[in-house]
Amino acid sequence: MLIGIIGWIILGLFAGFIASKFVNLRGDDPRISIGLSGLAAIVGGCIYSAISGSAVSSFNLWSLLFAGIAAVASLVIWHRVRRASCPRAKRPW
């Protein structure tokens, strides 16, 4: 069980790291995105386990896939909300 949760966390942190390289963070610390995606991967994996009825195992490809999708979806939502709440910086020219 612990190995499955660690797998979700690693997958989420990796997805957050990759996403922080591609997205304009608008002055945010990249650790926010990485931590958020790790947390979302855990939540996504738990939701998959609850829906499918399967226990958390050492390696379940579908739960890892669902955790990765949840991590990416949370980052997309976070950056959309962040973009809407922060005004664009004024250009000096």
Kindly report the number of other CB atoms within 10 A of residue 28's CB atom: 15
Interatomic CA distance for residues 10 and 14, integer angstroms: 6
The pLDDT confidence band at residue 48, using thresholds 50, 70 and 90, is confident
Domain of 55 in residue numbering reads as 2-85
Structure token digits, residue 30: 């990249």
- State the pLDDT at residue 90: 56
Interatomic CA distance for residues 73 and 78, integer angstroms: 9
6 occurs within a structural domain: yes
Using DSSP, state whether 24 is helix, strand or coil. coil
90 occurs within a structural domain: no
Structure token digits, residue 15: 């997805």
pLDDT in tens, 72-90: 888 888 878 877 776 665 5
8 occurs within a structural domain: yes
Tell me what the mean pLDDT of segment 54-82 comes to. Answer: 81
Number of structural domains in the chain: 1
Q: How much is the CA Rg of the chain, to the nearest whole Å?
A: 15
